[in-house]
Amino acid sequence: MRLALAVLASGRGSNLQAILDACARPEFPARVVVVVSDRERAPALERARAAGVEALWIDPKDFADREAFDAVLERELTARGVGLVCSAGFMRILSPVYVRAFAGRALNIHPSLLPSFPGLHAQRQALDHGAKVAGATVHFVDEGMDSGPIVLQAAVPVEPGDTEETLAARILVQEHRMYPEAIRLFAEGRLRIEGRRVIVTPEAGR
Ligand code: GRF
């Protein structure tokens, strides 16, 4: 049986699209069962519908606090038998309620080489800092901000004359390749968390 994925996205959803495209391949060991957004008009929800995947909007305004929102999020995901939750541009901080419920079963992607430049505007931070190398990271979600154990990273050069947009576009190419790869490794049972480290088991027969 293919692993049931949920994707959490607030915006454009290009990483979601890369995941949907990967899942459309018959040999890919996971499928997206629901896409959840905190924004009613998120293009990510449109992408889900276009792929025939359930698109679920949970309105933060309906909840008194973060914990109440996250409790409903957890309930909705659990009801759908979700085995892995992938945040992809989900612009909400997730509370310990959620993080504990999905410990070791929640991934995030961040457009920097963590632990450098966590938080918002990572590409801008890298440029402002004068970094020569930038990149992206897929990591497990923990209770901190972009701080969980690292699964995969990819580096790209910062070119002279880069703007936030040109650098973001170069990083995004790597994001779209790397997120499906991390999901595949998880689905194949090849990721083991040991403290801060994620051990990737080689493919059988290698
Ligand atoms: C990506 O750069 C991702 O790393 C970050 O937010 C952006 C989301 O882009 N967390 P998209 O919505 O997947 O196009």
**Minimum CA distance residue for ligand 1 atom 10:** 89
Residue range 36-68, pLDDT digits in tens: 999 999 999 999 999 999 999 999 999 999 999
Q: Residue 104, by phi and psi: left (phi above 0), alpha (psi -120 to 50) or beta?
A: left
Q: Is 110 in the pocket of ligand 1 (CB under 6 A)?
A: yes
- Considering only CA atoms, which residue is closest to atom 5 of ligand 1? 89
**Confidence at 206, pLDDT banded by 50, 70, 90:** low
pLDDT at 204: 74
Mean residue pLDDT across the chain = 97
What are the two backbone dihedrals, phi and then psi, of residue 178, each rounded to the nearest 5 degrees?
-80, -35
User: Is 10 touching ligand 1 by the criterion CB < 6 Å?
Assistant: no
Model pLDDT for residues 12-33, shown as the tens digit of each residue: 999 999 999 999 999 999 999 9
Lowest mean pLDDT among 11-15, 32-36, 191-195, 202-206: 202-206
Alpha carbons within 13 A on the beta-carbon side of 57: 13
Which residues have a Cβ under 8 Å from the Cβ of 142 and sit 6 or more positions away? 99, 103, 148, 149
**Hey, which of 172, 173, 178 would you mutate to test ligand 1's pocket, going by the most ligand atoms within 8 Å of its Cβ?**
172
Predicted TM-score (pTM) of this structure: 0.97
Burial 90-128 (b: 16+ CB within 10 A, else e): bebebbebbbebbeeebbbbbbbbbeebeeeebbebbbe
